[in-house]
A and B are shown apart, each in its own frame.
Chain A
Amino acid sequence: MLNIKCPYCGDRSQKEFAYGGDGTITRPKLNQEISDEEWDNFVYLRKSPRGKHIELWHHIAGCRQWFKVERDTTTHEIFRTFKPEE
Chain B
Amino acid sequence: MQKYSVFSLIKNAFSNHEKWDLAWKDPSPKKEYDVVIIGGGGHGLATAYYLAKEHQITNVAVIEKGWIGGGNIGRNTTIIRSNFMYDDNARFNEFGMNLWRNMSQELNFNVMFSPRGIINLAHSDAQMNAYARRGNSMRLNGIDAVLLNREEIKKIIPMADFSDDVRYPIFGGLAQPSAGTARHDAVAWGYARQADSMGVDIIQNCEVTGFDIEAGKITGLRTSRGDIKSKKIGLCVAGSTNVLAEKLNMTLPIETHLLQACVSEPVKPVLDGVVTFGAGHFYISQSDKGEMVMGGDLDGYNSYAQKGNLPTIQHVLTGGVALFPFLSRLKMLRTWGGIMDMSMDGSPIIDKTHIDGLYLNCGWCYGGFKSVPSSGWTFAHTIAQDRVHELNEGFSLNRFSKGYLLDEKGLGTKTWIS
Contacts and interface: CB of A to CB of B under 8 A. Distances in A.
Interface in B288-326: 300-305, 309-311
Contact of B242 (A39, A44, A49, A74): A49
B255 interface: yes
Q: Tell me whether chain B's interface is mostly helix, strand or loop, or mixed.
A: mixed
A41 B310 CA distance: 34
Given A44-B253, A48-B242, A48-B255, A37 B302 contact: no
Interface of A: 1-2, 14-15, 19, 21-22, 36-37, 39-41, 43-50, 53, 55, 71, 73-76
A44 B300 CA distance: 18
A57 to B, nearest CB: 8
Nearest to A43: B413
B254 A46 contact: yes
Nearest to B241: A48
Interface residues of B, number: 25
Contact of A76 (B240, B305, B401): B305
Contact of B300 (A19, A40, A71): A19
Contacts of B246: 47, 49
A19 B252 contact: no
Contact of B305 (A37, A46, A73): A73
Give the one of A46, A48, A75 with max B CB within 10 A: A48
B20 interface: no
A40 B301 contact: no
Nearest to A19: B301
B305 A74 contact: yes
B192 interface: no
Contact of A74 (B252, B254, B301, B304): B304
A40 to B, nearest CB: 4
Given A14-B309, A14-B311, A50-B243, A45 B302 contact: no
13 contacts: A1-B311, A14-B309, A19-B300, A21-B414, A36-B401, A40-B400, A44-B253, A46-B251, A47-B242, A48-B254, A50-B304, A73-B256, A73-B302
Interface in B395-417: 400-401, 413-414, 416
B344 interface: yes
Contacts of A21: 255, 414
Given A1-B311, A47-B251, A73 B303 contact: yes
A77 B413 CA distance: 26
